[in-house]
Structure 1
Amino acid sequence: MSAFQFVHTADLHLDSPFRGLSEVAPALQSVLREATFQAFERIIDLCINRDVNFLLIAGDIHDASDRSLRALTRLRQGFERLADHHIPVFMCHGNHDPLTGWSEHFSWPDNVWVFDTKEVAARPVLVQGAEIARIYGVSFGMEKVTDNLAQQFQGDPEAPWSIGLLHTNVGQDPNHGNYAPCQLDDLVRAGMNYWALGHVHTHRILRDQDPLIIYPGNPQGRHVRETGPRGCYLVSVDSQGHASPEFVPVDVVRWYDERLTIMGLGDFDDLLNRMDERVHVIRQQSEGRGVVVRWQFEGRGPLHRELIRPGRLEDLLMTIREKWGTGSQFVWSEAVHDRTGREVDLDGIRHEENLLGDFIRLTEIEDASNLQHIRQAIEPLFDDPRVYRYLGAPSDAQIREWVQTAQHLGLDRLLTGDE
């Protein structure tokens, strides 16, 4: 077989707004507004500069509910650039952009193939008339697809190299809507060499051998739950059919969720110095990108008394926005959260046979069963369509964080001498 290269991306969410940035400085608004588009342009640049053979997009290209003509127009312009370099595009639609939505009849250049909703279809990739790979795919016809679409895929043993293109939740990831759910074994049995998946916004390799199974994540983080590098995968396949995936960051603005302990800090100058050190590291890590950061103060110490005074956090937020939130490599502080507590002997209280001891023991999640009980209790809230579109199901880490915050607040109110 012939060696070839392709780019695998998903979850572009073009023109989707950043969350939690209603107070962003006017000078940064245009940067954030263009971020999803610029990340997409970087993917197009990567395809052209690396002279790939094709581009795969595994759903949620835009948010159909927003009806953004701008998103579709910019998407088409990117595809036209690829057409000028004879690079075909294969894409399927997911839960945010079902094919039967308002954009169904939007026209694309001739180099673009969109997989239908009726059944899994196969399309060959030709180079000088010879087939180098075969792409199998299917699109969502509605937002909530609950069928196991992966079970409809079956590769042809005669195909030179088979790729499955699918928007799906593998293994019922609780942090994402359970759409087109499947198990890893369903994908392994389908006779593919590579699975180009979409839906999960964090890049991860689910399986690193034939078949290679990959989520590329979204190219641009849009809120504080989408931290760290965001990008796509450049996949090189050699003449023996061995695939080598390379994660390529393309994000324009990077999100950070910074947690700083107040242990050992005496006053606000100490706190600002510690934050300044982290900002220096963040700027190095982000490699020239703008940054949006949420600060969360944790731990127990004397500074807690200052942090809980009325207006202190608002004053601190304004100060650090002015300090780091301007320039080409801005570090804009989205919010500051106080999760600190007063200095107490927590271990001692834990073993007391009284109300305080009972409270500490009840608010510590020691095993998976306690965590599951809490998740079941809040599940109806996050299943509500008025909620899940904006928040999504909480991760285990978030639930633990909520319980820890409740513990700090409860202790402050139960202990005597509370300010």
Structure 2
Amino acid sequence: MTAIRFFHVADLHLDSPFKGVTSMPEHQLKMLRNSTFEAFQTLIQTAVLEKPDFVLIVGDIYDGEDRSLRAQHKFQHGMETLDKHQIPVFLCHGNHDHLGGKWTRFQLPSNVHVFQNKTEKVHIRIKQYDVYISGFSYKERHVKESMMASYEEAAQIDALHIGMLHGSLAGDATHDVYAPFTKAELISKNYDYWALGHIHKRQVLHMEPPIVYSGNIQSRHRNEKGPKGYYDVTLEKGDARLTFMPTSAIIYDVVNCSCEDIVHANEWFEAIEKAIDQFRNKHGAGVIELNLTEVDVNNLAMLDGTPMDEWLSMIRETQEMKEPNVWVQSISIETSKTIEIESSGLTENVISVMGKWDSQQWKEIVSDVYQHSRSIRFMDKLADEDYKTIEKEVRDFLQKELLVKE
């Protein structure tokens, strides 16, 4: 039989507010806030050109339960475009856009099947294949219990069975756990493909059968680095081929810049411009963290003469007229091994103590920041990766401050 082809998409988060981006000019901030819509439009345009047999959207179409009118209108228009080209869509709602939210209702076109809060199995006939797609939508934001018992085992041997599940791998504490599952549970259903959503990191948990997170289509903050998109899947019995399709309008990432042999400020600016241009030529628009590597005593002495905020402001100024735009969000310093050996006993003592702190201790240390009622609503929950970043930034700061003064 001829293989079927579909797009596996998840976590659109249309109209995300993009927390944590500071000091960005209004016109650039507008571009950033439009990036989820641009990524979605790229998906729709590619579907029209490539004409997959159907599209799966596995939860969190919208960023919140109060779906913005703009986000719903853009999504509605996209679905109508796919309807005109006779491309079916199967979608479920996740924890961010659950069915219990309040919003202005839009009538989606007939090509779109929306799974409700009880797991159901839908049949579609494609290229001599009977295809069964199973899934459910979140009734409310917190679905803590496993939903695996509600998925029927594959019964039709010659048919293709696809499961849609917006949820978390049981035991994974790096994200809020919703609709938990184990790989063994998914495998036991004898499905030919599991299309997962909720986790924004693209990953294949298992290949026979494929158990796959497609990730989100557009990064929304510094912890979602690199290109984002969806999977273009070609599927037949016993064989699946996955092709990653990028959609990111703006990419978050770290750009490394070597400071080796740099003595003067003009050399430093030239090296940084070169590093940013290389990123721009490869990825286009971006929000980056500039990481200075191989920093020696001469570099530190040069940097210490001017506040770091002023250096950052000057770097941003060099990028203002360049397109596509790359916004430099922050600068971090990675000192050379020679400097680390020469650093004072006090520096090493403090760094050694910090290195022993676990996530709970870091959480207690930064807890004061989260006590302010006015600012807490603009701050994301910190994950283990965030605490590691904080530790690195504190270590870099201590090394820079103490070394320069010795």
Q: What TM-score do the two structures reach when normalised by structure 1?
A: 0.84
- Contact 1:229-1:249 at 8 Å conserved across structures: yes
3-state SS of the aligned residue for 2:355? Answer: coil
Hey, what does 1:326 align to over in structure 2?
321
Q: Distance in 2 between matches of 1:389 and 1:57?
A: 28
Structure 1: how far apart are the matches of 2:311 and 2:189? 55
Distance, in Å, in 2 between the alignment partners of 1:25 and 1:364 is 37
1:302 alignment counterpart: 298
Aligned partner of 2:58 in structure 1 is: 58
SS in 2 for 1:399: helix
Structure 2 residue runs without a partner (length 5+): none
The answer on whether the counterparts of 2:202 and 2:214 sit within 8 Å (CA) in structure 1 is: yes
Q: CA deviation at 1:175?
A: 3.4
Alignment of 1:253-292 (within 5 A): 253-260=250-257, 262-286=259-283, 289-292=284-287
> Structure 1 56/381 Cα, relative in aligned 2: closer, same or farther at 3 Å?
farther
Q: 1:98 to 1:358 in 2, by over 3 A?
A: same
User: Partner residue of 2:355?
Assistant: 364
Partner deviation per Cα, 1:315-366 (whole Å, 9 max, x = no partner): 3223222322334422222x2234466997644769x7xx66543432335x
Which structure 2 residues correspond to residues 11-410 of structure 1 after superposition, within 5 A? 11-103=11-103, 105-117=105-117, 119-127=118-126, 132-158=130-156, 160-210=159-209, 212-238=210-236, 240-260=237-257, 262-286=259-283, 289-297=284-292, 299-309=295-305, 312-333=307-328, 335-339=329-333, 346-347=340-341, 358-364=349-355, 371=358, 374=361, 390-396=379-385, 398-410=386-398
TM-score (norm 2): 0.87
For residues 363-392 of structure 1, the C-alpha deviation after alignment (integer angstroms, 9 at most, x for no partner) is: 335xxxx54664675798999999598423
User: Identity of paired residues, percent?
Assistant: 27
Displacement of 1:121 in angstroms is 0.6
Distance 2:182 2:388 in 1: 27
My pick for the range that moved more, 263-272 or 21-30, is 21-30
1:116 Cα deviation after fit: 1.2
Distance 1:10 1:205 in 2: 14
Contact 2:129–2:160, Cα closer than 8 Å, also in 1: no
How many angstroms does 1:295 deviate by?
1.6
More moved, 92-101 vs 65-74: 65-74
Secondary structure class of the residue paired with 1:154: coil
Contact kept, 8 Å, 1:302 with 1:343, in 2: the verdict is no
Q: Is contact 1:124–1:131 with CA below 8 Å preserved after alignment?
A: no
- Partner AA of 1:196 in structure 2: A
Kindly indicate whether the alpha-carbon contact (under 8 Å) linking 2:218 and 2:247 is maintained by their aligned counterparts in 1.
yes
Q: Do 2:19 and 2:380's aligned partners in 1 also have CA atoms closer than 8 Å?
A: no
Contact 2:76-2:106 within 8 A present in 1 as well:
no
Given that 1:302 and 1:342 are in contact with CA atoms closer than 8 Å, whether structure 2 keeps it comes out as no
Q: Distance in 2 between matches of 1:108 and 1:382?
A: 43
Unaligned runs of 5+ in 1: none
Alpha-carbon shift at residue 400 of structure 1 (Å): 2.8
Q: CA deviation at 1:85?
A: 1.5
Q: CA deviation at 1:127?
A: 3.6
Provide Cα deviations, 1:56-102, integer angstroms capped at 9, x if missing partner. Answer: 01111002345301101111111111111211111111111111111
CA contact (8 A) 1:48 1:82 kept: yes
Amino acid at match of 1:279: I
Cα 1:26/1:364, change in 2 over 3 Å: closer
In structure 2, what is the Cα distance between the partners aligned to 1:28 and 1:99?
33
CA–CA separation in structure 2 for the residues paired with 1:316 and 1:97: 41
* Counterpart contact for 1:4–1:132, Cα < 8 Å: no
1:103 CA displacement = 3.8
